[in-house]
Amino acid sequence: MNTNQLLKRTEPGEGSASRRCWERYAQRPEAIREEFRALQPPLRIPLVLMLKQAGPLPFTVDKLLSWHGPQATGSALLAACDPLAEHGFVASVKRAWGERLLFLPSDVYAQLMGCLLDDLHPGEGRHPEEPEPEEAAAGPVPEEEAQTPGPEPEGCQYEAGRGIVFGLFSLLAFAAKEGLPLTAKGTLHKRAVTRLSALNPWASAELPNDMGAQYPFADTLPLPLALVIDIALRFDLLKKEANRYAVNEAELARWLRLPHSVWREAVMSVVEEHYLPADVQLHHLVLAVRLIGTDGAWHDEREVLGRLRRLGLLAAEDAARAERQLRGWLRAFHAFGFCHLARPEQEAGEWAYRLPVQDMAEGPGFFIQPDFEILLPAAAPFYLRWELEAIAECVRADQMDVYRLTKASFEQGVEHGRTMASVLRFMEAHAWSGVPENIQDAMELWSLQYGRVRFAEVMLLRCEDSAVAAEVKEALLREPSGLAGIELIGDRDFIVDRDRARELGKTLDKAGIAPLRQWAGTEEKEPMISVWEEASADLGASLEDAGKAMVYSPSPLQYYEMETEPLLGEDLAAPYREVPGQWTRTLRSYHASTQKDLVSTAIRLLTPIEVEQSGQCATLIPVSIRDGEKGVWLLEAYDAGEGDAAELKTWSPADWERQRLVLPAGCPGSSR
């Protein structure tokens, strides 16, 4: 769930600090990085730990406290939650029984990961005055990971296909042209699935079996088709009715004016949030592939794994599992059309990938050949492609797509509301080399042979006699719409367009001549919308509506109510208020029993203690107390001064003379 979706789920007049931040982040994503770089260590360190441990996945307070260790204490993590929420970095929802789920919004997660990767491997985007990151903090760079990315990889290369974005477009075009009827059970008719599979290249995409996507009627509906239907439903491009999936024309008209990049980003966000298992390591790998590949160069799997390992996002013992996950995702990423893939001829070699460079069409247009073929660049705007789908058939998809204008396809266009004049106007507006005369002549002939007459399903209003018919006519003439859509035939009958039937019934009822019964005609197929002459739409994709989705999402966030109250309420704050003030103010010597009570309290509240021996101070992070020899208790703790590399050590109370319990800033009692 991103900040835009969070804004949609909160009240505009709320005026909370987090909502103001989300508004800023939604307008300027780079503001997330600016805010992150300005954070002080007491907030930055817990935030980075949350990112490493959970990524964009939700976590409970108990899970948060379980990350207590040398990187950050549990109390510091807890104390940081409310300030981080005010910065818009952490949000929360509430389960039905009151339990809180915390999470990093997906766009915040992506921007913060980008910051960490930039600091690890500086690029051209670094500000001139920004200091270089300390390489020592991340450890030495192994020679095999320090190579410059980008050389042409060895082995077999597989170009990215059209993928899921064009699969979504093809689904919508099919729905507009042929419809998507549903069975009584609510699944697509077998004939529609067969036709879709034959006409939509995406339907045959080879997706990994371990994606984990679950959806109803999986035995009759292929996974690629289920995904594009799900995406169309989430973005309200399709709406489910009693007996079909219908195109939402208003929303579709807006999307057809959007550039390919917006479609791609919207689809990718759904894929990453809803089609991946709830595995933190996998989410780190998926996002790293996208972020590292933004330079358009080739990158191998060793580089991706190496960078994440240096950031502490991958454990050394999970190396084999991480490699399997990365290769599985690269296969899926390639199938989605989001990357080119290079695989070695031998199993022992390295895999590599490269994000496609998006070609920009030189102005919206196409070539029309005298042989009735229309050549459309692959990067042409979707609104042009949509209009061609209405009047021509796509015979080949490549760098230049080939549509063929035929009598049958022209007749199909007429069925969808096109005319000879509108088609010629469209062609003249976008054909780079003009419209050949033979094509104009052919369309003129076709327009004479087809579409000049039509059957219409209308209603017949039959009056008892001519006198009643005269009353009806008089009543209609008193209405603003008059006789529009109504025609008198003979002396006692009227032909009535179906869309005026309900209004006519009300008019006659008001006039005191209510009809006995109305007859509803059968539905006819709605024509394909035409948007090529409309003004440009706004540049953003609509927010997804998870309630309309078909694929079961592993993310529960969409189902819970937003929680904006502070996390450190009375229940969580009370134990910290009960800590004696003298334990936290200054270093002091204590009786052995009190000394043990203080340490036990620090363990229970997950706080550090400061100790002093011979004038030297150290901060320990207590984990547990165990019995030693001769009744002496021993403390197992981390030395915070050793940083992330600290190891659990055993201490005796005789190892220090004075001590105090340290409450992190933000905890009740920390200012005493």
Give the dihedral sign, CA 161/167/169/170. positive
Q: What is the pLDDT of residue 342?
A: 92
**pLDDT < 70 stretches in the chain:** 13-15, 121-151, 209-210, 212, 359-362, 516-526, 534-548, 569-570, 666, 668-672
What is the per-residue pLDDT across 9-67, written as a single tens digit (0 to 9) for each? Answer: 887 766 688 888 989 998 899 999 999 999 999 999 999 999 999 999 999 999 999 99
340-343 and 352-354 strand pairing: antiparallel
Q: What is the pLDDT of residue 139?
A: 43
* DSSP character at residue 399: S
Residue length of the chain = 672
612 CB burial (10 A radius; 0-12, 13-18, 19+): middle
Structural tokens at position 553: 């999402």
Task: Determine contact, residues 165/265, Cβ cutoff 8 Å.
Answer: no
Please give the radius of gyration of the chain, using alpha carbons only, rounded to the nearest integer. Answer: 33
**For 240-264, how does the pLDDT look when each residue is reduced to its tens digit (9 = 90+)?**
988 999 999 999 999 999 999 999 9
Q: Which tokens in the block code for residue 663?
A: 């409450």
Q: Where are the beta strands (DSSP E) in 252-355?
A: 299-300, 340-343, 352-354
User: Would you tell me how many other CB atoms lie within 10 Å of the CB of residue 356?
Assistant: 16
616 to each of 471, 646, 656, 659, how far by Cα in Å?
A: 107, 19, 9, 12
- Cβ-count burial 395-434 (b if 16+ within 10 Å, e if not): eebeeebbbebbeebbbbbbbbebebebbbebbeebbeee
Q: Rounded CA gap, 82 and 101, in Å?
A: 13
Residue 62 CB neighbour total at 10 angstroms: 8
Rounded Cα distance, 335 and 413, in Å: 32
Task: Provide the whole-model pTM.
Answer: 0.82
- Tokens encoding 529: 């919308």
Is residue 393 classed as helix, strand or coil in its secondary structure?
A: strand
Residue among 408, 419, 334 nearest 372 (CA): 408
Q: Contact, 579 vs 669, CB < 8 A?
A: yes
- Six-digit token pair at 620? 């320990």
Considering Cα of 162, then 165, then 167, then 173, what sign does the dihedral take? negative
* Distance, CA of 3 to CA of 7 (rounded, Å): 6
> Cα dihedral sign for 532, 537, 543, 547?
negative
Q: What is the pLDDT of residue 155?
A: 73
CA distance 44 to 64: 15
* pLDDT score at 280: 94
* 667, 75 contact by CB (below 8 A): yes
Tokens 């809180």, located at residue: 100
Tell me what pLDDT residue 358 has.
Answer: 72
Nearest Cα neighbor of 164 from 56, 281, 272, 26 is 272
* pLDDT (0 to 100) of residue 12: 73
Task: Kindly report the three-state secondary structure assignment for every residue of 165-217.
Answer: HHHHHHHHHHHHHCCEEECCCCCECHHHHHHHHHHCHHHHCCCCHHHCCECCC
Whole-number Å distance between alpha carbons of 505 and 501: 6
